Amino acid sequence: MIRDLWKPVYVPALTLADVVVCLLVRGHDVLERRQREVGRMAVGCHGRVANEAVQGDLGWSGFAAWEASSKLAFNNRCPLNMHWDKYVRRVLPGTCLRTQWTRQMYQLEQRSGLSQDPLWVHSVGAYAQAVQQRVREIEDAAWQLAVTGKESFYRQHQNSIRAVRLYDNSVGSTLIFEARAGRCALRRGSRCCSGVMPQ
C-alpha cells in the first residue's frame, strides 16, 4: 500500500516542485533519503539492508535522475516552441550571466554526458525520450558499480534497476527480500532462500 501511494501521489508532486524550483544538493539528499525510507517500509525490511537492494528491487529512479531528464528535456523544448526564448538564448551566452538555472543546467549536461556527446533528433518528443534513456543508462551504470562491492544474492541475478514482482507485503515476502539482499534475520536465511530468483 505504501508503494502504491508513494508512486502516484507524492512522486508527481515532488517532481513538479523540483522542476519549478532549483533545489540545492542537500534538498536532493533529503528527498533521496526519504524515498529510501518509504521503500524500506514498502518491502518491510530493516535499516541494515543496502540502499542498492531497495532501489534495484523496487525499480525506483532517484530524484537526481528525474531532475536531469525533465530539466534537460525542458531546456531543449523551449527554443523549439517559444519565439521569445530564441532571442533570449542568443543574448544570454553573450552576457555571461550566470544564474542558478544556467549553473544547474551546465552541471546536468556534464553529468549526463550531453556536453561531450550531444543528441541529434528532430522532434521534441524524441529528444525527451533520448534524454530519459541516456539518464537511465547512466543511473544503471552507477547502480551496477555500487552493487559490485556488495556480497548478496540480488547482485548475481539482477543487472539493472527494475521492479521485482516477488513481494506482497507479507512476512514471507519481507524474509525473501532480506535474504536476497544478504541481510536475513534468520541465521541460515541466505542458504534456505537461495533458490528465490526474480521472474
Average pLDDT, the chain: 74
Per-residue pLDDT reduced to its tens digit, 120-142: 777 778 888 888 898 899 889 88
Per-residue pLDDT reduced to its tens digit, 14-43: 666 666 666 666 777 888 888 888 888 888
Residue closest to 134 by CA, chosen among 50, 48, 65:
65
Per-residue pLDDT reduced to its tens digit, 162-185: 888 777 777 788 888 888 777 776
> 539493472: which residue's cell?
160
Percentage of the chain beyond pLDDT 90 is 0
The pLDDT-based confidence of 119 (bands split at 50, 70, 90) is confident
Entry pTM:
0.70
- What's the CA dihedral at 50, 53, 54, 59 to 10 degrees? 150
Residue closest to 160 by CA, chosen among 51, 76, 57:
57
pLDDT computed for residue 199 by the predictor: 47
Instruction: Say how many C-beta atoms besides its own lie within 10 A of residue 142's C-beta.
Output: 15
Q: For 7-153, where are the alpha helices, taking DSSP H only?
A: 11-20, 25-43, 51-58, 63-81, 83-95, 100-112, 124-147
pLDDT computed for residue 190 by the predictor: 46
CA distance 180 to 193: 8
- What's the CA dihedral at 57, 135, 146, 33 to 10 degrees? -70
pLDDT computed for residue 68 by the predictor: 84
CA distance 154 to 28: 26
